[in-house]
Amino acid sequence: MITKEATAAAPAPPRTAPEPPRPAKRRRAWDEAPRWQIYLPLGIYLVFTLIPFYWILLFALRPAGSTSLVPWPMTTVHFEKVWTDRGFGTFFYNSVLVGVVTLLMTTLVALAGGYALARFDFKVKRGFMLALLCSQFVPGALLLVPLFEIFAGLQMINSLISVIIAETVFQLPLSMILISNFIKNVPYSLEEAAWVDGCNRFRAFRVVVLPLLRPGLIAVGSFAFVHSWNHFLFALMFLNNQEKQTIPVGLNTLMSADSVDLGALAAGGIIAAVPVVIVFAFIQKWLITGFSAGAVKG
Amino acid sequence: MKISILAHSAGRGRRTSAAVALGAVLALTATACGDDGSGAGGDGAEGSGKGKIVFWDNNGGVRTDIWKQIIADFEKANPDIDVQYVGIASTEYQSKVDTAIQADGLPDVGGISASMLAGFAAQGALDPLDDRLEGSSLNGKLNKDLVESLRAAGGGDDKLYSVPTSANNGVLYYRTDLFEKAGLEEPTTWERFFEAAEKLTDKGGNKFGYTIRGGSGSIAQALDAMYGQSGITSFWDATGKKTTVNDPKNVEALEKYAALFKKVTPAADLNNDFTKMVAQWDSGEIGMLNHNLGSYQDHVKALGADKFRGIPQPVGPDGKRVQVSNPVDGVGLFKSSKNKEAAWKFIEFATSAESSSKFNESAGQVPAHLDAAKADWIAKAEPTKLAADALTDGSTTIVQLPYYLPDWNTLSKAESEPNFQKVLLGDMSAKDFLDGLAEKLNEAQAEWDEQMG
């Protein structure tokens, strides 16, 4: 039960005198270091990191049986095979659907829950926060049987909805904590000012607070998308129809008990990785800000 | 300042929220289009012999196409029955079935190999098939050894829970081009095998004589090499209570086999599972590889059929070949099926001569159906033919691994693989490793005997 609002959670910053001019920045040792001392270790690290990706690309683009170290002559036959013969087109669509809906549901619910945690005090708030944190220690595999039974009772086995709900529920605790910390950083006085101007709580939140939460929302949303995109267990257990399976499950079936088509596996791996890489390329700027600003403070 | 949460517009807001929430729930429910897991539940029922059945393939992916073809043939012959195919990766099949057993979500029919049969049977998930088989056209048409192998793996009650589809067999693949170049003879004996492994190795040139399996699945391969060299023909001694794995002859054989690591194999073999092992053999210059019939097509695609051969395991000094058993694959009927009549019709069809031939030609394995084993394609697939001959012409003694022990998978994998890596690295002696394994196996067998009365 909500008893009072946490108005003291984020006091408005006091007005201060203008800051004195900063002293001249001391040149640090690495500013004077020769370029090669910076770029050589970075280059080695980059090569070390990128070699496995190059290897995947190599297997995906060179013909089966080729031992060439460059993907030439190039072939797209592995991509065609996994996309059409192995159903990756369908798996991709299903994964996008699960990822996007999980992103939306996680963000919306985390926003509402996070706002409550940031702005209201209620009797079991500490216990609730503790429960949220503790829920992170419970592995999904432990809950498979009860979840299966619940979804079976709701006639949701073999439906993407079961995977979306399970993914959302497992994403929510961390997302809520992140969002609540982010909201705490927005001065409460801004909302109060909006109320004075005639806004109700929802409108004040929507017009004043929400735009300031963009980095946090992007961080939480992208985290939810990437996690559900890569997550294997729930899709494997709750979906019993080939037409409804997702990319990680499909990827797993490219390896049989005694045989593996490495070209197809590499092509499937690239199809699985590309959306995540694109998402990160676009959002990395906000992601770092979002996670650092929403981080739990000691 | 204290502001009531019930703000002036809360009433309208709450109604809106409730409407949105209700709408969302209804929309989600309407679009759910799911079911309760399968058409199965409780002790099941014979059903009408019509309608829908669900089939879980225990090695989905590469076999999906051929199963879909068999299903299409079946549905054409039985227009009243609809089979829903679900391909599940072999690595995840056991956990999926175990979860489904607990949550009452099993399908009607599933692929059941000997290696996982004991676990499923112990949980009471499978229907015995003896009576159905007796009254079926399959009776007397299936390879007796394979039927008995599955019966023995079933859990000690002498019932058959899975109708065999195929037999796999250990194969020694070797590069004919490299052997010819080095002037080596075919590795048909263990002596020639060790000699070739050494002569084909040129570490500086990144050429190796052999690739050893040090990672996942290493134990079955090591046991194959041990029993093959020692010539011991039974996994248990005459009393049936003590295993022969730590027999001095086996210890000596393992020492010799493990000594190959890094001497004639890549150092990275320590973590070799079959994927890595097969990949490096297919793309490098390695003389020999031990695997089974399942990877034959991968080698053909990578190397071409003329650059390698796949032959049965080498013979020992007395000219006799001893191999450990490979799990027989089959199809089982889950007890909870509500449409057992239709499910059995599908099992009969899938293991019939025609389907068995199609399936095994695609999988490169030895058909369990005797008529399918005479099909023309077998003569053209050399490793399959040689394996089929080895399994049937009396030249090979098969050491039956104790798949019936519920702990066998744990003992032969999670509990033993890290110790085998220690043996390869020289951190543990072969004797200590085998003594430890033997102790656990003897305990498991004693426990099993006690349970069986």
Query: What would you report as the CA-atom Rg of chain A, rounded to the nearest whole angstrom?
Result: 24
Indicate the pairing of strand B51-57 with strand B81-87: parallel
Residues B354 and B425 in one domain: no
In a domain, A186, yes or no: yes
The first and second tokens of residue A169, run together, are 């529920």
Q: How many CB pairs under 8 A join A and B?
A: 145
Q: Quick check: A100 pLDDT over 50?
A: yes
- Residue A263 pLDDT > 80, yes or no? yes
Confidence (pLDDT) at B30: 43
- Give the rounded distance of the alpha carbon of B252 from its chain centre: 28
pLDDT tier, A1 (very low <50, low <70, confident <90, very high otherwise): very low
Please determine, for residue A296, whether its predicted confidence score (pLDDT) is greater than 70: no
pLDDT of A24 above 70: no
The domain that holds A161 is classified in CATH as 1.10.3720.10
B10 assigned to some structural domain: no
DSSP three-state, residue B352:
coil
Q: Give all strands (DSSP E) within B168-211, no chain letters.
A: 170-175, 208-211
B21 domain-assigned: no
The pLDDT of residue B61: 83
Number of domains in chain A: 1
Asked whether residue B81 falls in the same domain as residue B100, the answer is yes
Match 């409550």 to its residue by tokens.
Answer: A116
Same domain assignment for residues B231 and B292: yes
A127 in any annotated domain: yes
Chosen domain end from B391, B410, B436 = B391
Task: For residues B445 and B450, give the distance between their C-alpha atoms in angstroms, rounded to a whole number.
Answer: 9
- Residue B85 in any domain: the answer is yes
CATH code, B99: 3.40.190.10
Whole-number pLDDT of residue B26: 45
Residue A144 lies in a domain: yes
Region of residue B394 (phi > 0: left; psi between -120 and 50: alpha; otherwise: beta): left
Residues B332 and B322 in one domain: no
Residue A33 located in a structural domain: no
Residue of chain A whose alpha carbon sits nearest to that of B24:
A105
Q: Which amino acid type is present at position A189?
A: S
- Identify the band that residue A291 occupies on the pLDDT scale cut at 50, 70 and 90: low
**CA-CA-CA-CA torsion sign (A149, A155, A159, A165):** negative
Written in H, E and C, the secondary structure of A37-101 is: HHHHHHHHHHHHHHHHHHHHHHHHHCCCCCCCCCCCCCCCHHHHHHHHHCCHHHHHHHHHHHHHH
- Whole-number mean pLDDT of chain A? 86
Contact A259 B62 (CB under 8 A): yes
| B302 in A contact zone (CB under 8 Å) | yes
* Of the candidates B179, B124, B195, the residue with the CA atom closest to the CA atom of residue B154: B124
Q: A262-293 and A214-230 are packed helices; what angle lies between their axes, rounded to 10 degrees?
A: 150
- B162 and B73 share a domain? yes
Cis peptide bond upstream of A73, omega within 30: yes
CA dihedral B435, B411, A252, A256 (to 10 degrees): 70
Q: Please state the rounded mean pLDDT for residues A215-222.
A: 90
Number of domains in chain B: 2
ipTM over 0.85: no
- Do B174 and B222 sit in the same domain of this protein? yes
Residues B278 and B189 in one domain: yes
Q: Cα–Cα distance between A251 and A231 in angstroms, integer? A: 12
Q: Which residues of chain B have pLDDT under 50?
A: 1-11, 22, 25-32
Give domain status of residue B11, yes or no.
no
Q: Which residue range is the domain that position A140 belongs to?
A: 89-249+275-293
* Same domain (yes/no): B125, B225: no
Contact assignment for A240 to B5 by CB distance below 8 Å: no
Same domain, residue pair B227 and B308: yes
Final residue in a domain of this structure, among B356, B375, B391: B391
Residue B373 and residue A236: Cα distance in Å, rounded?
35
Nearest to B292 among A5, A253, A258 (CB): A258
Same domain flag for B305 and B339: no
Residue A153 lies in a domain: yes
Q: Domain boundary at B370, B391, B412, which?
A: B391
Q: What angle do CA B447, B449, B453 make, to 5 degrees?
A: 115
Is residue B74 one of the residues assigned to a domain?
Answer: yes
User: Which domain, by its residues, includes B243?
Assistant: 170-326+399-452
Residue B188 resides in a domain:
yes
Question: Does an H or E element contain A3, and which?
Answer: strand A2-5
- Residue B176 is assigned to a structural domain of this protein: yes
Q: Which two tokens stand for residue B361?
A: 């030609």
Whether A12 is in a domain gets the answer no
B43 part of a folded domain:
no
Residue pair B153/B409 in contact (Cβ under 8 Å)? The answer is no
pLDDT at A30 over 90: no
Is the CB of residue B361 less than 8 Å from the CB of residue B375?
Answer: yes
Q: Are residues B309 and B427 in the same domain?
A: yes
- What is the pLDDT averaged over residues A192-211? 93
* pLDDT at position A256: 84
Q: Are residues B264 and B118 located together in one domain of the fold? A: no
Q: Which amino acid is at B262?
A: K
pLDDT value at residue A27: 60
Q: Is A161 on the interface with B (CB under 8 A)?
A: yes
Residues of B in contact with A5 (CB under 8 A): 2-3, 5
